[in-house]
Amino acid sequence: MHFQSVTFDLDGTLLDTIADLAEGCRLMLAEVGAPARSQAEVHSFVGKGMAVLVERCLTHGQAPTAEALYAAIESFKRHYSEVNGRLTQIYPGVQEGLEAWKASGLKMGVVTNKPGMFTEALLERMGMTAYFDVIVSGDTTAHKKPHPEPILHACRLFGVRPDRNLHIGDSENDILSARAAGCPTFCVPYGYNEGKPVDSADCDALVSDLLAAYRQALTFKTS
């Protein structure tokens, strides 16, 4: 196989976390006295990390003040910590895909924009921690995806050149981050991507699930 390591996005790629995120947002908005948001709205707000999610929830025509945003973020942290993983579902094909990747002997990692305080607790709760050699969260490096630094950081920890790492995600943020890092990237079509369908023309392969990604990777060749 061309690859020596593989990195996975978390929300929208490995796990369907939207019900927990929506509940955390509902409780936060009620606490700060802001209008409620539907789960569909929250779905379209996910992708660029917790602070952006909260800001988007609060924005109605104009952005919230710095003070209001800070209070809402602190509220969201408390509420989401309580519900994190409670309603989360593992996407079809993920468990089988992770088993196949693990059996291949490749180094495996998670690269997510989710803050570390939620990432590790969620992976533990879902019984997935043991699959991964490296976990890079939204606050591990100075920048989040779509910046290349989170993926480059994972590659440094692996001791693998970026062009020998495959990044698998569900959004434009994943594609842009991987491209800038010099990594091939596969995308799954079922995730969030801020409410837009992911474009197969922008990634190296659009795959139905993680097991299909593994099978595709077996025959991957650089152009």
Cβ atoms within 10 Å of 161's Cβ, excluding its own: 12
SS3 207: coil
Counting every residue written for the chain, the total comes to 223
Of 5, 220, 205, the residue nearest 105 (C-alpha): 5
Expressed in angstroms, the distance from the first to the final Cα of the chain is 15
Crossing angle of helices 18-32 and 50-58, rounded to 10°: 50
* Cα 152 to Cα 161: distance, rounded to the nearest angstrom: 9
Residue 5 three-state SS: strand
d(CA 213, CA 168): 8
- Asked about 9 being catalytic, the answer comes back as yes
From the centroid of its chain, how far is CA 120? 13
Judge if the upstream peptide bond of residue 146 is cis by omega within 30 degrees of 0: yes
Q: Judging by beta carbons within 10 Å of its beta carbon (0-12, 13-18, 19+), is residue 142 exposed, middle or buried?
A: exposed
Q: Choosing from 9, 11, 16, 174, which is the catalytic residue?
A: 9
- Active site residues per annotation: 9
